[in-house]
């Protein structure tokens, strides 16, 4: 009887923390997106681009790389923090004085929604366009680019 009560209490507490909170879902999703920064390399590409355009045209590779690496580590750390603390308030983005709450991309490239059967169907042709390899850094080739 004692084991059943502790199990039910655990299930009840887990249900309270995971049920119906839009803020919890946003914080968890933002944290998971930030945790995968090194797979995306968005901060790295943006820092190199911004350093080349505004700071010093000759040293953008080294300085931009170091800035991007620093911001990537910070974004990954913030992502881990947000995933771990997702069930608990506050739900607002943290560390926004250094990082934007949204994922960073270079100004020269803004990804779109992946065009597949879920988002953009074309019943006449059987397939639709979009980025060929949207998760590979530097890939900007699109099929049927009509925008």
Q: What is the pLDDT of residues 107-135, one digit of tens each?
A: 877 676 665 556 655 555 555 555 666 66
Q: What is the mean pLDDT of the chain?
A: 77
Q: Provide the pLDDT confidence category of residue 79 given band limits of 50, 70 and 90.
A: very high
CA distances from 76 to 69, 93, 115, 126, 139 (A): 11, 14, 27, 39, 23
pLDDT at 25: 85
Position 80 scores a pLDDT of 94
Please give the DSSP secondary-structure letter assigned to residue 138.
T
109: buried, middle or exposed (CB in 10 Å: 19+, 13-18, 0-12)? middle
* More confident of the two residues 65 and 127: 65
9 exposure class (CB count in 10 Å sphere: 0-12, 13-18, 19+): exposed
pLDDT-derived band at 78 (thresholds 50, 70, 90) equals: very high
Span 37-61, average pLDDT: 83
Determine contact, residues 130/120, Cβ cutoff 8 Å. yes
């Amino acid at each position: 009887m004692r084991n059943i009560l502790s199990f039910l209490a655990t299930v009840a507490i887990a249900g309270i923390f995971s049920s119906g909170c839009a803020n919890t879902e946003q914080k968890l999703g933002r944290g998971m997106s930030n945790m995968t920064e090194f797979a995306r390399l968005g901060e790295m590409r943006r820092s190199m681009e911004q350093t080349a355009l505004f700071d010093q045209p000759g040293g953008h590779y080294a300085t931009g790389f170091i800035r991007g690496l620093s911001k990537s580590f910070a974004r990954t750390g913030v992502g881990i923090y947000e995933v771990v603390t997702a069930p608990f308030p506050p739900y607002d983005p943290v560390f926004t004085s250094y990082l934007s709450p949204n994922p960073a991309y270079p100004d020269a490239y803004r990804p779109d929604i992946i065009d597949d059967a879920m988002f953009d169907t074309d019943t006449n042709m059987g397939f639709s366009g979009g980025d060929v390899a949207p998760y590979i850094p530097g890939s900007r080739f699109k099929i049927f680019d009509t925008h």
